[in-house]
Amino acid sequence: MKKITTILLAFITLTTLFLSCKKDEEAPASATATVTVTTSLLGFDGVNGTSFKSTTANVTKVGNSYTLVAVEDGAKRNITIVLNNVTATGTFTLDKGNANQNIATLNKDNTSADATLSYKTDGVSTAGVIGGGSVIISKLSDTEIEAKFFIIAYNSAKKESFVENGAFSGKLTKN
């Protein structure tokens, strides 16, 4: 009986020891990589533009599609660019009707649902001028992207918005 009690006690002790030794959980990797976006001018409704800077933007890659989302530091303006079928560096058009359905959206106030505050490159002015622009990607790897861009966009009221001398660079977020 003494031998069974000793074995049982040893078994309980070892079980307790193994159960109390658990591996520490690792902190999850950052889900968002940081990209910096700057422009010399971002303007709306025929008014002279002002500079734009976002230090908390991100570019998400899904397959061969890249989406840039940049909210201006301390403000409500934002820039979104969607590029499809990107496999290497090069120039990608944002013109209305482009074959890859690339598009850019400029928002005057990203906290409002008012459609007249959202300007898209597939919009058209009252004079029939079509929105557009281009993105020139100069660096592209599995982890980084760097590009320059310009945008001309129109809202539902056919008013213009524009970006001059835009640039972004940083790490990619993969989904």
Residue 17 forms part of a structural domain:
no
Which residue type occupies 52?
Answer: F
Range(s) of the domain holding residue 74: 29-174
Q: What is the pTM of this model?
A: 0.81
**68, 79 in Cβ contact below 8 A?**
yes
Residue 147 forms part of a structural domain:
yes
Residue 19 forms part of a structural domain:
no
* 85-100: pLDDT as tens digits: 999 999 999 999 999 9
Pairing of strands 78-83, 103-107: antiparallel
Sequential DSSP letters for 123-171: -B-TT-PBPEEEEEEEEE-SSEEEEEEEEEEE-TT--EEEEEEEEEEEE
- CATH code at position 37: 2.40.160
Residue 5 forms part of a structural domain:
no
pLDDT for the residue 20:
52
* 123-171: pLDDT as tens digits: 999 999 999 999 999 999 999 999 999 999 999 999 999 999 999 999 9
Q: What is the mean pLDDT of residues 41-51?
A: 93
Q: What is the mean pLDDT of residues 43-59?
A: 94
Residue 20 forms part of a structural domain:
no
- Using CA atoms, how far residue 116 sits from 47, 101, 112, 147, in Å, is 15, 22, 10, 28
Residue 7 forms part of a structural domain:
no
Query: Tokens 């570019």 label which residue?
Result: 59
Residue 91 forms part of a structural domain:
yes
Residue 148 forms part of a structural domain:
yes
Q: What is the mean pLDDT of residues 104-124?
A: 96
Q: How many independent structural domains does the chain possess? A: 1
CB pairs under 8 A, 24+ apart, for 65-73? Answer: 66/145, 66/172, 68/35, 68/37, 68/168, 70/35, 70/37, 70/168, 71/110
Cα(144)–Cα(165) distance, integer angstroms: 20
